[in-house]
Structure 1
Amino acid sequence: MPVQFITTAGGDRLVVIPEAEYNRMLADLEDRAGAEAVREFNACMAAGDEELMPAEFANRIIDGENKIRVWREFRAMTARDLAEKAEISAGFLSQIEKGERDGSFETIKKIAAALRISVDDLA
């Protein structure tokens, strides 16, 4: 591989390499970064800090269905169970799930905690 060195007016030394070699180096770095991300995710999964959601539920969220309802059903909870754990009324939860009312940030925090997810998962 032909390599050329250039020294700038400021004294920085630069290396010039063929574009194909540069692209190969970038691809190698991306592969390593991807592999590291997978290792980190697997470690988080093993520690119980991450979980996988089946496509059936993820697609419902992607399609715009109410995230609280989807997470509740993914957790196999009834609306009454979730409302009880979040210390809100079942009627209020129903209104939030239907989009008829917005919950306060504190209410959303309670719902997220009851679902064992972060508030960001409901954003």
Structure 2
Amino acid sequence: MSTQIIENNGVPEYAVVPIADYRVLMEKAEMLDDVAAFDKAEAILAAGEDELVSSDIVDLLLANVNAVKVWREYRGLSQATLADAAGLSQAYIAQIETGKREGRVDAYRAIANVLKVNIDDLV
């Protein structure tokens, strides 16, 4: 790699490299960024701060199936079990899941806590 150094008042300020070398350097820098992002994601998963879900769950959420219902079923909970753990009634959970009721913020917070998701994942 041939590099031309341009100085300003005797201090190196710029390095000029052939375009082919520049492209190789950029590719390697992008690869390092990708590796760092992958390592960070692995660490977050290993620490239990996030989880992987199947594409089936993602597809349901993207199809606008009620998120409370999707996550409840994914966690293997009945409406009654979720309601009991969240301090709500089963009817209230059913109304949220069917869209007959929007639900209060405190209710969503309790539901999110039981389902181990962020409240933003439900609304």
TM-score range, shorter chain: 0.7 to 0.9
The aligned counterpart of 1:99 is 99
Taking the TM superposition and a 5 Å limit, the aligned residue runs for 1:26-105 are 26-105=26-105
TM-score when normalising by structure 2: 0.84
RMSD: 2.0
Taking the aligned partners of 1:23 and 1:51, their CA distance within structure 2 comes to 35
The runs of at least 4 consecutive aligned structure 1 residues that moved more than 6 Å come to none
Letter in 2 for 1:40: K
> Structure 2: which 5+ runs fail to align?
none
How many percent of aligned residue pairs carry the same amino acid? 30
How many pairs were matched up? Answer: 122
Taking the aligned partners of 2:105 and 2:18, their CA distance within structure 1 comes to 54
CA shift, 1:43, in A, is 2.2
Taking the aligned partners of 1:45 and 1:79, their CA distance within structure 2 comes to 28
Letter in 1 for 2:63: D
CA shift, 1:12, in A, is 6.9
Aligned CA distance change for structure 1 residues 100 and 7 (closer, same or farther; 3 Å)? farther
What do the CA deviations read for 1:20-78 (whole angstroms, capped 9, x no partner)?
32222222122112222222222222222222111111211122211111111100111
Letter in 2 for 1:54: S
Kept after mapping to 1: 8 A contact 2:83/2:90:
yes
Kept after mapping to 1: 8 A contact 2:5/2:12:
no
TM-score when normalising by structure 1: 0.84
